[in-house]
Amino acid sequence: MIVTAQTASVHLDLRQDVALLTAALIDINSVSGNEKELADAVEHALRRIPQLDIVRDGDSIIARTALGRQERVILAGHLDTVPLPTTEGSLGTVPSFWPSGAPGEGLLYGRGTTDMKGGVAVQLALAASMFDGGAEPSKDVTFVFYDHEEVEAVKSGLGRLVRNHGGLLDGDFAILLEPTHGTVEGGCNGTMRLAATTVGEAAHSARAWMGSNAIHAAAPILARLAAYEPATVNVDGLDYRESLNAVKINGGTAGNVIPDRCVVEINYRFAPDKTPEQAEAHVRALLEGFDVVKTDSAAGARPGLNHPAAASFVAAVGAEPKPKYGWTDVARFSELGIPAVNFGPGDPLLAHKDNEHVDAEAVRECLRALRTWLG
């Protein structure tokens, strides 16, 4: 764990307009695995706020108020982005771009605008302004900034923080500032990958009757998946739409050989009313008679909107909450017993796209909503 303040880091002005702060964050490249420079800059800026207790772990940072309030809320966001659009794997910086020609006005383009440097900018601006004019927030706040969200779950900075500093992540309610277009998205679907394998017998394709075709044997698997009608499940008042699909198929060795093995990879996105065990049983029942192996799974999260802190937040935002279909880190908070929602600026459908962008006003609006609620 590194606890020393960084001196050589980029200076971030947390008090500038939050849309301009978003651009400043984008200008520091932080593709997964390369978060150090941004983490240094964030840590350095947070250490100037005397009311925050800071802990750094790798390229993750926890910053907490200690006001002794009845409620503690967690505001969390990841510092990393997916690779740059045109220079994949590049360690170069990403200049942000204002097509209006007027920084701070209209749309802001750049890697991470929606996913999720707009959200991180809101967290930082809140941290810097919370105590303005002697004011104090009505709730204790824990800000979490973490690395390695956009890669395999085992690398997750948030997962590491839970293991190393679990106690510092205590809270009554968590908000993940992933892009939601400024609405509250509760919970998330779980996800599971499975492999269904058929086995045949190899033979020369000129004498196919000597063998048995494993690819043909997989046809009923595809037929059952194609005919399957995914459910929509109401959980705590929100409708979660499920998906069950073949996502990859592999079989055959050569153009003149009857294939002796075929593997169909399946992805099941299941509603948060099911445990991963129940979801697995559901797929196994559908594919009865086939050799099915689970290769990976992550539990979903119930929306938890009936919790008082969540309900007051939804009321403050004033928009109808929606279900989240994709898996997000709210599930990690849910595992800790902390109800969690997604709420952040930007269109989630633009995440990871080459033309990723966010409206400056959307970032400001998100900051206003959180400020009002915490006020």
Q: Which of residues 103-132 bind Zn ion (CB under 5 A)?
A: 115-116
Q: Does 260 bind Zn ion (CB under 5 A)?
A: no
Nearest alpha-carbon partner for 299 in 153, 116, 175, 149:
153
- Strand 340-342 and strand 185-186: the pairing is antiparallel
57 is catalytic: no
Distance CA 292, CA 251 (A): 16
Locus of tokens 């004019």: 133
* Nearest residue (CB) to Zn ion, 116 versus 258: 116
Nearer to Zn ion, 37 or 115 (CB): 115
Told to judge if 80 belongs to the known catalytic residues of this protein, a careful annotator would answer: yes
Active-site annotation holder among 80, 280, 347, 356: 80
The nearest distance, CB 178 to Zn ion, in angstroms, is 5
Nearest partner of 315 among 375, 239, 369, 362, judged by Cα: 369
DSSP letter string, 243-287: EEEEEEEEE-S-TTB--SEEEEEEEEEE-TTS-HHHHHHHHHHHT
Of 174-182, 201-209, 224-232, 262-270, which part binds Zn ion (CB under 5 A)?
174-182
46 or 116, CB closer to Zn ion?
116
Q: How many CB atoms lie within 10 A of CB 11?
A: 9
Closest CB to Zn ion among residues 169, 177: 177
Looking at the Cβ atoms of 41 and 116, the one nearer to Zn ion is: 116
Number of residues engaging Zn ion in binding (CB under 5 A):
3
SS3 372: helix
At residue 191, φ and ψ (nearest 5 deg) are -140, 145
Taking CB under 5 A as the binding criterion, the range among 61-69, 170-178, 203-211, 262-270 that sits at the site for Zn ion is 170-178
Least Å distance, CB 92 to Zn ion, is 21
- One of 37, 147, 149, 347 is an active-site residue; which one? 149
- CA dist 65 and 265 (Å) reads 46
List the structure tokens of 251: 């079989």
Closest CA to 64 of 73, 54, 75: 54
Shortest Å distance, C-beta 116 to Zn ion = 5
- The least CB distance from residue 123 to Zn ion, in Å, is 13
Q: How far is the CB of 74 from Zn ion (least distance, A)?
A: 16
Only one residue has tokens 């400020």, namely 371
User: Looking only at residues 176 through 195 of this chain, which bind Zn ion when binding is defined by CB under 5 A?
Assistant: 178
Binding site for Zn ion (CB under 5 A): 115-116, 178
**Residues annotated as catalytic (active site), given as ranges:** 80, 149
